[in-house]
Structure 1
Amino acid sequence: MELVSLQQVREAAGRMAGVAVRTPVLPCPWAEGEFWVKPENLQPMGAFKIRGAVNAMALLGGAASTAGVVTHSSGNHGQALAYAARVMGTPCAVVVPEGAAPVKVEAMRGLGARVITVPPERREEVAREVAEEEGASLVPPFDHPDVIAGQGTVGLEIVSDLSTVDVVLVPVGGGGLASGVATAVTALCPDARVIGVEPELAASAAESLERGRPVSWPPERTRRTIADGVRMGLSELTFAHLRERLDSVVTVTEEEVRAAMGVLARRAHLVAEPSGALATAAYLSGRVPRGRTVAVVSGGNTDPLLLAEVIAADTARRH
């Protein structure tokens, strides 16, 4: 299987101009050791997913302009594709699993997407059916080289801003972000370690790498985690990237994810959704190697009530 190259990631970076934000690497003097965060929650629609969506849409060109694009998503990729489609004047449909976060579903509709709600186990199947019936282009959330290359621009920017980075922590769900970041970072900083982070309650990537093949966890198992953005398992394509380029995968507890959300809000002044707080949770847990570390805050589309709850909990811990 052919893996995405550094050159593809660099070419994707050129397609981001004017749509995706080049986010900074922010120092965190409040943390022990040398720690930075990469705040992808600052993207126009609140998550890194805009990068892969923009790159894929740009490479589709005129093929997507009339019939439109379709995808399946629990939220952030659907918002990203809807945003990119609106910028490019293209119709967009998103197949959403039942139980998806209402704040994300409403954001998709607000960006002009047609939302189709289905049982979680049918999301991919229905997205393919809609694409075939309507002649639309399917832009999957992670299982595509153009999407992976787009997400890899996160890694390019990390290395550009902190060329002596030792450890990069990145959330893992379907594996598109981790695949892209690992592609860029390992090519440019061979001595750096790229470590994936999953919640214990949706740790299919860790099991997949341990078993040497992609392993799927059923929706009734993964829906236990608060981190709704990482409930999908790896594809054959993302598994191949992570097996080749990722150093390891660590897991964090639900309590650690909540605590990290509170810390990011109070100390870094960043709104992180549960999936977006995974990498920071891993650092704060002390279960990852120390060194000059960057944690990717992958998204900030969280429920306001949950945000208030974790901030209150963090405040109580400090008093």
Structure 2
Amino acid sequence: MSQSLSDLRPSLSDIEKAAESIATAVLRTPTLPAQILSQIFGAEIFVKYDNMQITNAFKERGALNKLLSLTQEQKDAGVIAMSAGNHAQAVALHATRLGIPSTIVMPEFTPFVKVAATKAYGATVILEGETVAEAGIAAMRMAEESGATFVHPYDDPYVIAGQGTVALEMLADVPNLDCLVVPIGGGGLISGMATAAKAINADIEIIGVETELYPTMYNELNNLELPCGGQSLAEGIAVKKAGRLPALIASDLVSDIILVTEGQIEQAINAYATHLKTMAEGAGAAGLAAVIAKPERFKGKRVGLVLCGGNIDPRLLSSIIVRQLGRKQQIVGLRITIPDRPGILGEISTVIGDLGGNVLEVDHHRTFLNVPVKGASIDITIETRDAEHAREIIRGIEAKGHAVAHLNAPQE
């Protein structure tokens, strides 16, 4: 008689066993108070730094627990996984360490840096399919044909139990948390954490977070069919179909799912970088994005956030930080129409300097048709203290008789 889906649900005991099994190979990461964030949002915020793992993401926990559950015969036959990122590296790292042959199927669009990192951990990488879903179909076909074990990234009781160890550690460090805010992709992390946390403290609230572009579990739990798709900063949780077992567990234990915008994820990544001096990928920052989206929901509470991954392209991080400076009007773009004669640029630069601004970049335009033939347009990027300081500089330039367009003015 086959097991029902409910029979596969891991228990607190399963998660505690997973914690013992992986203890020597997976870092027990700290859960620390985030004082600046607490002051900003009026809540006591604690951050679980699972971006400190060897592969910089929580996925090692579930992957290793699954690998340790295999028989020797299964280990000899090898494992196959599907992933475009963190799960791939987690399986590759620990399979190689345990002497298990591993093959990772990745979508053809996967960035070279992720492919190279997965190969460096000892896996054979096959690029197949345009999407993660297509890569998954290929991986399952290969597993069936070869006799290798397919290591699912989230819809597996051993994987879920491994991810649940995050909550064990958080509640050991901060026992009286009011809620855990957990990013949701396929649901492995939140279902494991919810199982552990609710067994330890029935009153703790489990809140999930998804990007508005991929409201996968939100659809599952609310019987909705909101569209899923698009380019998201949080590609780690950009999943179109939640796992069946995680959805079953979440339906019982998760009290709320908050949908966040791409802008809120961007702000959260920046906040981790500037306030906590740590790197968060989009999915890793989703918990903080939920607090940014609904600060009143968390005011006065003791909130546990899971920084579950830090694998972000440094160029993307740099762009996000600069864009955030623009939002705060600390970097401002101005387009100024001037007569094309000597000394004007020096005059404008003097105004900016006298008012305490700093010129970062200047670009002349003389061929724009909306500029008089004896005139010119210049784009100047300046560094300011804040929005009021930017307005003061604009008024100073206008007082010299020049028309100024504020290129990155805040949208009303």
- Per the normalisation by structure 2, the TM-score is 0.73
The offset of 1:315, in angstroms, is 4.1
**Code of the aligned partner of 2:250:** L
The answer to whether residue 235 in structure 2 is matched with residue 228 in structure 1 is yes
Aligned to 1:86: 96
Q: Equivalents in 1 of 2:136, 2:111: separation in Å?
A: 18
The answer to whether residue 22 in structure 2 is matched with residue 16 in structure 1 is yes
Is the contact made by 2:215 and 2:226 (CA closer than 8 Å) also made in structure 1? Answer: no
Q: Equivalents in 2 of 1:130, 1:282: separation in Å?
A: 38
Runs (4+) off by over 4 Å: none
Aligned to 2:298: 289
Choose which of 186, 189, 193 in structure 1 pairs with 2:198.
186
Paired residues for 1:195-234 under 5 Å: 195-211=207-223, 221-232=228-239, 233-234=241-242
Aligned to 1:139: 151
Aligned length: 314
**Code of the aligned partner of 1:55:** N
Aligned to 2:311: 301
Q: Equivalents in 1 of 2:287, 2:279: separation in Å?
A: 14
Q: Equivalents in 2 of 1:201, 1:258: separation in Å?
A: 14
Paired residues for 1:88-127 under 5 Å: 88-117=98-127, 118-120=129-131, 121-127=133-139
Q: Equivalents in 2 of 1:241, 1:98: separation in Å?
A: 32
The offset of 1:238, in angstroms, is 1.0
- Identify, as 1 or 2, the structure richer in strand: 2
Aligned to 2:56: 46
Unaligned runs of 5+ in 2: 1-5, 331-384, 386-412
Percent identity between matched residues is 36
Q: Equivalents in 2 of 1:216, 1:201: separation in Å?
A: 9
The answer to whether residue 320 in structure 2 is matched with residue 310 in structure 1 is yes
The offset of 1:257, in angstroms, is 0.5
- Per the normalisation by structure 1, the TM-score is 0.94
Choose which of 270, 275, 279 in structure 1 pairs with 2:287.
279
Aligned to 1:174: 186
The offset of 1:283, in angstroms, is 1.4
Aligned to 1:251: 259
Is the contact made by 1:71 and 1:138 (CA closer than 8 Å) also made in structure 2? Answer: yes
Is the contact made by 1:263 and 1:314 (CA closer than 8 Å) also made in structure 2? Answer: no
Choose which of 65, 71, 81 in structure 2 pairs with 1:55.
65
Residues 71-109 of structure 1 show CA distances to partners (whole Å, capped at 9, x for unaligned) of 111211111000111110111111112333443222112
For 2:180, what is the secondary structure of its paired residue? strand
Larger Rg: 2
**Code of the aligned partner of 2:83:** S
Unaligned runs of 5+ in 1: none
The answer to whether residue 79 in structure 2 is matched with residue 69 in structure 1 is yes
Q: Equivalents in 2 of 1:274, 1:223: separation in Å?
A: 14
What CA RMSD, in Å, does the superposition of the two structures yield over aligned residues? 1.7
Is the contact made by 2:272 and 2:280 (CA closer than 8 Å) also made in structure 1? Answer: yes
